[in-house]
């Protein structure tokens, strides 16, 4: 299921359904727009949604890997905030 909150600039891909007798509900991707940057809040894809953004021409300094703690972001190749 895709969820677009354009008022608050949050965009999610949710996995919802059943696996045998167990209910599945999880956030696969959560991206938000803040301060003219793309903040990746959650990403459980194999390649990483940041890779898709880079392939579309978005630069590393426009992407924040927000799922990392702020003190760790400085060691990534992406924006810290």
19 bridge partner residues? 22
Break the chain into its structural domains and give their ranges: 2-73
Cβ distance 22 to 44 under 8 Å? no
63 by DSSP, 3-state: which? strand
CA distance 16 to 9: 22
Topology (CATH level 3) of domain 2-73 = TATA-Binding Protein (3.30.310)
What global pTM score does this model have?
Answer: 0.90
Query: Which of 38, 32, 43 has its CA nearest to residue 10?
Result: 32
Looking at residue 73, its pLDDT comes to: 96
Reported as a pLDDT band with limits 50, 70 and 90, residue 17 is: very high
pLDDT in tens, 32-42: 999 999 999 99
- Arithmetic mean of pLDDT over the chain: 97
């Amino acid at each position: 299921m895709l969820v677009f909150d354009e008022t608050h600039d949050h965009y999610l891909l949710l996995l919802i359904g059943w696996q045998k007798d167990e209910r599945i509900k999880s956030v696969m991707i959560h991206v938000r727009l803040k301060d003219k940057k793309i903040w990746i809040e959650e990403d459980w894809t194999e390649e990483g949604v940041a890779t898709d953004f880079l392939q579309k021409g978005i630069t590393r300094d426009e992407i924040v890997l927000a799922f990392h703690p702020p003190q760790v972001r400085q060691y990534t190749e992406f924006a810290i905030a």
